[in-house]
């Protein structure tokens, strides 16, 4: 009870976290309930109703094919945010174990993974994602695969660095002299140590990846019409930008709000963990 | 039980000789003190003996078999018999784990162990941990706390409880009292002395403080720049044949 109380007061004192949580709750609501609440079928073409202005019927107007923009954005939330989270989740699942093992066991295993990582890192990740998506062919699945292939490296490197400095600490040495297997030492000591940093990184990364997916969809490598992914909606709208800027403004805003939410959450979590760390070092 | 070290040498790099042809032996129940200034190679010696560092030259045998075996079953036996306590009480416990989880780590890996403090009772893990804390003179209430909520002396007692939980026959202490103030140092030294008698274990006590070493040990080895300068029994401490370096250490300690 006591800790719940201190936790919630700590939260209120942390405006980033508070803002992030409010936005996250809102976005989660849109993702999980939005599909049931939207007034129109996001795929339904109605040429008689093209490029309508915002009205009580169509809250954000309609696009060049007469589809309801509000419905499309709400429907796209699940796709865009869900895919961003999925991509980061998979990158974490690949990168973190590799970083832990590579850092803790060291030796040839470490040299092997570092060789791969350095090789891939010589390319900027946007270019690499474009190249992979180009090779695999344009589709949302391939974009996610491309992003995972690029992003796991960041996690592996960060985790490895954290492990390298932590594994000389005496409690890790004691774990070894206690005959704990490397897997047990990693699970019991090293994984909890790297977890806060990974959570902060992942929160911010979800925003980055949503931007990346949208950017790739915008240049035509990701979601294909008529999928209402936000980047793809930007792409759809670009031909009509002069006549109807809202076709691009609303999806753009949606992306912005989501990225903002991720950044706020990331920063909030970071200061939350830093405060806890500071307390431990007192 | 006997530990025999012969001609042990170790380099960290080509021109950094950490240990230079070290030889000594320890019999069961004996307490050997290793003194030397900072950087003399004391910690390195301890780490080589528990297998945290490898070495190039020399032989170390424990009970007649070479130390830090590579075969897993032999290694297991060795780990069960040889435990180490480290210098820095603040980093010897995982800050993210409650004390009772930390203290149980060795015992969890050697489930077949039925140490004397359990008195044959069948206790839950948490109760076992509490029993261990009581054994080293701590309140069992501390079991649920995190390391940040303990004092330095309490943390060091927890480390001692953890090392002694599987009743090793050789305990290597690397300056276990260095980060503590004097009254707490004495308590910890007394605790170690009690257990040494009770469990009849061999202790290798590393310290830069010759007073702590003379309090606990019968045999003293003086280390400087990785070489043994002097080696003598405690009753010869003030003998005139002591090495000048040893005399200097004794003098420095008595001034303080
Ligand atoms: N991991 C390492 N890599 C390279 N050199 C090291 C390493 N550990 C120790 N050394 C060097 O080996 C020498 C002996 O170090 P060691 O830690 O054994 O000294 P010590 O006697 O324990 O000193 P202190 O009393 O300060 O703990 C020192 O010169 C030290 O710089
Ligand atoms: Mg040392």
Confidence at residue B90, expressed as pLDDT on a 0 to 100 scale: 83
Residues of chain B with C-beta less than 8 angstroms from the C-beta of A193 = 96
Domain that holds residue B201: 1-81+169-256
Q: What is the DSSP letter of A186?
A: I
Confidence at residue A271, expressed as pLDDT on a 0 to 100 scale: 86
Q: Which of B115, B135, B167 is the last residue of a domain?
A: B167
End-to-end CA distance of chain A: 24
B16 lines ligand 1 (CB under 6 A): yes
CATH of the domain at B27: 3.40.50.300
B39 lines ligand 1 (CB under 6 A): yes
Whether B183 and B256 map to the same domain: the answer is yes
Closest by Cβ to B105, choosing from A169, A175, A280: A175
Q: What is the DSSP string of B125-194?
A: HHHHHHHHHHHTT--GGGGGS-GGGS-HHHHHHHHHHHHHTT--SEEEEESTTTTS-HHHHHHHHHHHHH
Whether B128 and B195 map to the same domain: the answer is no
Q: Which of B167, B197, B217 is the last residue of a domain?
A: B167
Closest by Cβ to A178, choosing from B51, B86, B106: B106
Confidence at residue A1, expressed as pLDDT on a 0 to 100 scale: 46
Q: Which atom of ligand 1 is nearest to the CA of B206?
A: 22
Q: Which atom of ligand 1 is nearest to the CA of B223?
A: 21
Nearest C-alpha in B relative to A191: B96
For residue A188, give the 3-state DSSP assignment: helix
Residue B48 lies in a domain: yes
Q: Does residue A123 carry a pLDDT above 90? A: no
Whether B17 and B59 map to the same domain: the answer is yes
Contact at 8 Å (CB) between A93 and A151? Answer: no
In tens, the pLDDT along A126-148 reads 788 788 888 888 888 888 988 89
Q: How far apart are CA B237 and CA B220, in angstroms?
A: 9
Residue B88 lies in a domain: no
Domains of chain A: 9-38+60-281 (1.10.3720.10)
End-to-end CA distance of chain B: 37
Q: How far apart are CA A105 and CA A151, in angstroms?
A: 22
Nearest C-alpha in B relative to A280: B148
- Asked if B110 lies within 8 A of A179 by C-beta distance, the reply is yes
B208 lines ligand 1 (CB under 6 A): yes
Which residues lie below 8 Å from residue A78, measured CB to CB, with a gap of 6+?
A: A31, A32, A34, A35
Confidence at residue A282, expressed as pLDDT on a 0 to 100 scale: 36
Whether B215 and B226 map to the same domain: the answer is yes
Contact at 8 Å (CB) between B220 and B214? Answer: yes
Residue B232 lies in a domain: yes
Contact at 8 Å (CB) between A39 and A217? Answer: no
Residues of chain B with C-beta less than 8 angstroms from the C-beta of A279 = 148
| Longest pairwise C-alpha distance within chain B | 56
In tens, the pLDDT along B134-191 reads 989 899 899 999 999 999 889 999 999 999 999 999 999 998 888 788 888 888 899 8
Residue B132 lies in a domain: yes
| Residue nearest ligand 1's atom 2 by CA | B12
| Residue nearest ligand 1's atom 12 by CA | B18
Whether B255 and B158 map to the same domain: the answer is no
**Which residue in this structure is represented by tokens 């005959």?**
A179
ipTM value:
0.90
Whether B187 and B221 map to the same domain: the answer is yes
Q: How far apart are CA A264 and CA A26, in angstroms?
A: 14
Q: Does residue A5 carry a pLDDT above 60? A: no
Both tokens of residue B110?
A: 């050697």
Contact at 8 Å (CB) between B204 and B189? Answer: no
Residue B153 lies in a domain: yes
Whether B160 and B178 map to the same domain: the answer is no
Residue B28 lies in a domain: yes
Using CB atoms within 10 Å of the CB of residue A136, give its burial: 0 to 12 exposed, 13 to 18 middle, 19+ buried. middle
Whether B159 and B174 map to the same domain: the answer is no
- Asked if A171 lies within 8 A of B102 by C-beta distance, the reply is yes
**Which residue in this structure is represented by tokens 């792409």?**
A235
Mutate to test the interface with A, among B43, B83, B95, B108 (most CBs of A within 10 A): B95
In tens, the pLDDT along A133-186 reads 888 888 888 889 888 988 899 999 999 999 999 999 999 999 999 999 999 999
Whether B180 and B249 map to the same domain: the answer is yes
d(CA B174, ligand 2 centre) in Å: 7
Report chain A's mean pLDDT, rounded to a whole number: 86
Whether B218 and B186 map to the same domain: the answer is yes
Alpha carbons within 13 angstroms on the beta-carbon side of residue A48 total 0
- Asked if B80 lies within 8 A of A193 by C-beta distance, the reply is no
Residues of chain B with C-beta less than 8 angstroms from the C-beta of A175 = 105
Would strands B227-233 and B219-224 be described as parallel, antiparallel, or unpaired?
A: antiparallel
- pLDDT band, very low/low/confident/very high, at A192 (cuts 50, 70, 90): very high
Q: Does residue A6 carry a pLDDT above 70? A: no
Q: Which of B167, B200, B227 is the last residue of a domain?
A: B167
In tens, the pLDDT along A230-250 reads 988 888 888 888 888 888 899
Closest by Cβ to B76, choosing from A176, A179, A184: A179
Whether B249 and B214 map to the same domain: the answer is yes
Residue B87 lies in a domain: no
Residue B86 lies in a domain: no
- Asked if A188 lies within 8 A of B105 by C-beta distance, the reply is yes
Other residues' Cβ atoms within 10 Å of the Cβ of residue A11: 14
Closest by Cβ to B105, choosing from A178, A192, A279: A178
Q: Does residue A279 carry a pLDDT above 60? A: no
Whether B130 and B236 map to the same domain: the answer is no
Q: Å from B3 to nearest chain A CA? A: 18
B47 lines ligand 1 (CB under 6 A): no
Tally C-beta pairs within 8 A across A and B. 60
For chain B, the domain total comes to: 2
- The rounded average pLDDT for each run of 10 residues, N- to C-terminus, in chain B (256 residues) is 86 87 90 91 91 86 75 84 88 92 92 77 87 91 92 91 92 87 87 89 91 89 91 84 84 75
Q: Å from A189 to nearest chain B CA? A: 7
């Amino acid at each position: 009870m006591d800790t719940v109380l201190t936790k919630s007061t700590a939260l209120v004192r942390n405006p980033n976290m508070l803002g992030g949580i409010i936005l996250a709750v809102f976005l989660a609501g849109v993702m999980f309930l939005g599909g049931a609440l939207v007034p129109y079928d996001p795929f339904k073409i109605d040429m008689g109703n093209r490029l309508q202005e915002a009205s009580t019927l169509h809250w954000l107007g309609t696009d060049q094919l007469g589809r309801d923009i509000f419905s499309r954005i709400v429907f796209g939330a699940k796709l865009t945010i869900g895919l961003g989270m999925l991509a980061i989740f998979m990158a974490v699942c690949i990168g973190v174990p590799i970083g832990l093992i590579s850092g803790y066991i060291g030796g040839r295993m470490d040299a092997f993974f570092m060789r791969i990582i350095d090789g891939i890192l010589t390319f900027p990740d946007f270019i690499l994602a474009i190249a992979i998506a180009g090779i695999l062919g344009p589709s949302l699945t391939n974009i996610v695969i491309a992003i995972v292939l690029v992003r796991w490296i960041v996690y592996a490197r960060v985790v490895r660095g954290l492990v390298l400095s932590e594994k000389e600490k005496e409690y890790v040495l004691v774990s070894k002299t206690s005959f704990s297997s490397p897997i047990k030492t990693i699970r019991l000591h090293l994984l909890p140590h790297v977890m806060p940093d990974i959570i902060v990184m992942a929160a911010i990364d979800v925003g980055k990846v949503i931007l990346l997916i949208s950017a790739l969809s915008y240049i035509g490598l990701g979601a294909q019409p008529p999928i209402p992914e936000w980047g793809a909606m930007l792409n759809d709208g670009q031909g009509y930008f002069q006549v109807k800027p809202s076709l691009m403004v609303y999806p753009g805003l949606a992306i912005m709000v989501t990225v903002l939410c991720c950044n706020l959450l990331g920063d909030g979590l970071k200061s939350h963990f830093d405060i806890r760390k500071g307390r431990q070092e007192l | 039980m006997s530990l025999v070290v012969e001609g042990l040498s170790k380099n960290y790099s080509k021109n950094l000789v950490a240990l230079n042809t070290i030889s000594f032996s320890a019999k069961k129940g004996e307490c050997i003190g290793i003194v030397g200034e900072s950087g003399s190679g004391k910690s390195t010696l301890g780490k080589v003996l528990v297998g945290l560092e490898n070495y190039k030259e020399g032989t170390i045998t424990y009970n007649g078999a070479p130390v830090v075996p590579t075969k897993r079953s032999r290694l297991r036996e060795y780990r069960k018999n040889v435990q180490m306590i480290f210098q820095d009480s603040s980093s010897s416990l995982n800050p993210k784990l409650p004390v009772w989880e930390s203290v149980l780590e060795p015992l969890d890996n050697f489930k077949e162990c039925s140490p004397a403090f359990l008195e044959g009772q069948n206790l839950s893990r948490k109760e076992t941990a509490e029993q261990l804390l009581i054994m080293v003179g701590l309140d069992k209430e501390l079991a649920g706390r995190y390391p940040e909520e303990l004092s330095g002396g309490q943390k060091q007692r927890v480390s001692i409880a953890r090392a002694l939980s599987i009743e090793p026959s050789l305990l290597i202490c690397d300056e276990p009292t260095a980060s503590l103030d004097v009254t707490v140092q004495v308590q910890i030294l007394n605790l170690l002395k009690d257990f040494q008698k009770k469990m009849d274990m061999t202790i290798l006590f590393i310290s830069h403080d010759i007073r702590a070493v003379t309090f606990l040990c019968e045999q003293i080895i003086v280390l400087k720049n990785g070489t043994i300068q002097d080696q003598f029994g405690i009753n010869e401490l003030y003998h005139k044949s002591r090495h000048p370096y040893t005399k200097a250490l004794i003098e420095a300690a008595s001034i303080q």
